[in-house]
Amino acid sequence: MERAQDSSRGAEPARDSAPELQRSVAQLLQRLSRPEARPGIVGNGALADLGALLEATECDALFGAGSEPPRAVSELLGQLAKALEKWAAPPGEEASAARGLADVAERAAAVGELMLQLLGRVEAAPARAAGLRPLAAPVYVFAATHRLQQPWSSPRSRCVAEEVLSALLRVAKCGSVAGFLCGESDDETGRFAAVMGLLRPHLSKESWKNNPAVRHVFSWTLQQVTRPWLSQHLERVLPPSLLISDDYQTENKVLGVQCLHHIVINVPAADLLQYNRAQVLYHALLNHLYMPEHHLIQAVLLCLLDLFPVLEKAVHWKGGGACVTTHCHEVLQLILTHMEPEHRLLLRRTYARNLPAFVKKLEILTVRHLKRLERVIIGYLEVYDGPEDEARLKILETLKLVVQYTWPRISCRLVVLLKALLKLICDVARDMSLTPDSTKNALLQEATDCLILLDHCSQGQVKSLLARIVLSCEDSMVVSCVRKVQAASAGAPCSGT
């Protein structure tokens, strides 16, 4: 190693020191690749020697004095960057459970300092673009692995990783990570394909759990690539997303579904429909709705709502316009089936939060689900949902939409819905819990709006039924709500509700 440093210090022309430099880098690469180098003294010594070598070597020796660096040295430095990234990566699940992740952050900080040093050399070289080419993907993967708060990171390693990412963008002359991955202009090729080429071997069914960081790096990288660039990489990103979403751990399921959702909203419908991809996505997502995990249900429902238009286009193109909302009907039926007996508050809130979007989607076709919707609405209005009362507020929003879209079918359900709303108003008026006044006021206002809509679509029947309450009720909140209903215009047309 001393001989390599001496030859570097005495670098007269770059071509004289290049062979010696290649030998030195090759030796360091071999040392880092040994099994005993991670995480031991051998690896730490190799890092120290590499730092000394970079410090002592002129830029011309590394990257040449012309517009293109020596190919052999360039490829060797690319292999070295890959070895450094791999050396700093967290171990697999079994290894991490046995050994812990305490030493990973320390290794990452040391590797980050070396990468900053290497990027500084690239920035000062005449052949900056060519010198960066073999280094860009492994340096990016390293930075993406260690920049976020994870069990294998520390404040120092995260700070160094952020510095590495900033330096990489500066050397690449990119204003953002998206520009780095996709290209800053239409005629510029981004580095997403190179990054995925580095990640792809670790995203197979057999290997993706050997490195706990790879799924997070893939997910974060995918989120940076949007329309119109993502469609050309669909074959690279769809299989890993489906693989991660199909894991037994809820955390990975949610991460995979979020990746699928990003694909759905950033890839044209024609590409998703090709090779029946959209149907594959639909059935993969539908299976997750049987899992009682509220985070997963939330992610799946949001993704499905954006997938429905894609599936509808397929039906429309086939000439089946009458069945265009079949998938939405199927999902809503399943949701209502799960909602009715559900007693866990987090799941109730999740279902109720997304129910208005399905009613808006189906509009008048919601009548197909009216019987079950009625039972769900009445059941959910009876149950207190905590200080924020999110579930009941969302159910009231759903009821307003149902009345607006299906008003001709509401008159036969008028008495049942009226009783449920009046009971809610009385419960809120008598509520002495820690529920904030803002939440109580919102509940009362939403319930009053529902009563007004019911009155409009029943030609004033609600006013007649509420007339006696003003005379007999002593609660000012209840009377105030009733008076608002009475004051509402009785001449509003039914079609305007």
Confidence band for 42, pLDDT divided at 50, 70 and 90: very low
> Which of 173, 196, 220 represents a domain boundary (last residue)?
173
309 falls within a domain: no
Residue 445 token pair: 């206002």
Residue pLDDT, tens place only, 370-391: 999 999 999 999 999 888 999 9
pLDDT of 496 = 43
Tell me the residue range of the domain where 461 lies: 364-379+387-497
pLDDT of 266 = 97
> Which range among 50-54, 108-112, 133-137, 245-249 shows the weakest confidence by mean pLDDT?
50-54
The better pLDDT of the pair 227, 124 is held by: 227
pLDDT of 4 = 42
Residue pLDDT, tens place only, 321-366: 555 678 999 999 999 999 999 999 999 999 999 999 999 999 999 9
What are the C-alpha distances in Å from 346 to residues 152, 245, 292, 296, 353?
30, 21, 10, 12, 10
From the list 277, 273, 181, 274, the residue with the least C-alpha distance to 229 is 181
Round to whole Å and give the CA distance between 37 and 48.
13
pLDDT of 69 = 57
297 falls within a domain: no
Round to whole Å and give the CA distance between 172 and 289.
43
Round to whole Å and give the CA distance between 433 and 2.
76
Residue 214 has pLDDT above 50, yes or no: yes
Residue 6 has pLDDT above 70, yes or no: no
Count of domains for the chain: 2
Round to whole Å and give the CA distance between 90 and 107.
10
Round to whole Å and give the CA distance between 321 and 287.
26
429 falls within a domain: yes
From the list 401, 311, 387, 297, the residue with the least C-alpha distance to 358 is 401
pLDDT of 10 = 40
The better pLDDT of the pair 423, 121 is held by: 423
Round to whole Å and give the CA distance between 462 and 470.
13
What are the C-alpha distances in Å from 447 to residues 325, 336, 417, 440?
30, 21, 11, 11
Residue 314 has pLDDT above 90, yes or no: no
Residue pLDDT, tens place only, 478-494: 888 888 888 875 445 44
pLDDT of 467 = 83
Pick from 128-132, 396-400, 459-463 the range whose average pLDDT is largest: 396-400
> Which of 173, 204, 228 represents a domain boundary (last residue)?
173
Task: Report residue 143 CA to chain centroid gap.
Answer: 19
Whether the Cβ atoms of residue 455 and residue 485 lie closer than 8 Å to each other:
yes
89 falls within a domain: yes
Q: Mean per-residue pLDDT for 232-238?
A: 95
Whether the Cβ atoms of residue 465 and residue 421 lie closer than 8 Å to each other:
no
- Tokens 């517009």 correspond to what residue? 67
Q: Mean per-residue pLDDT for 65-69?
A: 55
pLDDT of 495 = 43
95 falls within a domain: yes
pLDDT of 18 = 59
Confidence band for 239, pLDDT divided at 50, 70 and 90: very high
Please name the residues in contact with 159: beta carbons below 8 A apart, sequence gap of 6 or more. Answer: none
b/e map of 128-141 (b: 16 or more CB within 10 Å)?
A: bebbbbbbbbbbbb
From the list 350, 252, 253, the residue with the least C-alpha distance to 294 is 350
145 falls within a domain: yes
- The letter for the amino acid at 274 is Q
87 falls within a domain: yes
pLDDT of 107 = 87
pLDDT of 218 = 97
Residue pLDDT, tens place only, 72-82: 667 778 888 89
b/e map of 363-373 (b: 16 or more CB within 10 Å)?
A: eebbbebeebb
DSSP track, 435-497: --HHHHHHHHHHHHHHHHHHHHHTTTHHHHHHHHHHHH---HHHHHHHHHHHHS-TT--GGG-
Round to whole Å and give the CA distance between 437 and 427.
14
The pairs formed by 21-24 with CB atoms below 8 angstroms and a separation of 24 or more are 21/53, 21/57, 21/61, 21/62, 21/73, 22/72, 22/73, 22/76, 24/53
332 falls within a domain: no
> Which of 173, 199, 234 represents a domain boundary (last residue)?
173
